[in-house]
Amino acid sequence: MRLLRALVAAGMNTRAPRANAWIEKKALEIGLEGSQFVSAIAYAGNEGWLVDASQRGWSSLTNAGEVIAKR
């Protein structure tokens, strides 16, 4: 959830997919790297909070992900 909060705080929303490199940069800014980053992304994906966007190498925040991030 820390990653989701950071992404939303940086301007990601359900209408604005972001490049995976941008997401990784935001994760590094909050101290998530390596296996921590991989775990956070996998967890968010498994929960349906982040999904692959139609453009290769981009991801979208789902409505559920936005709700969780704002808790």
**Strand ranges of the sheet holding 58-61, from the earlier edge strand across to the other edge:** 18-19, 58-61, 50-52
| pLDDT one-digit tens code per residue, 17-27 | 999 999 999 99
Residue 1 in this model has a pLDDT that exceeds 90:
no
Residue 71 in this model has a pLDDT that exceeds 90:
no
pLDDT at 38: 94
> Taking the domains of the chain in order of start, what are their residue ranges?
2-69
Look up the CATH architecture of domain 2-69: Orthogonal Bundle (1.10)
Amino acid at site 64: A
Which residues, other chains included, contact 50 with Cβ-Cβ below 8 Å and sequence gap of 6+? Answer: 4, 23, 41, 44, 59, 60, 61, 62, 65
Band of residue 51 on the pLDDT scale cut at 50, 70, 90: very high
Whole-prediction pTM:
0.90
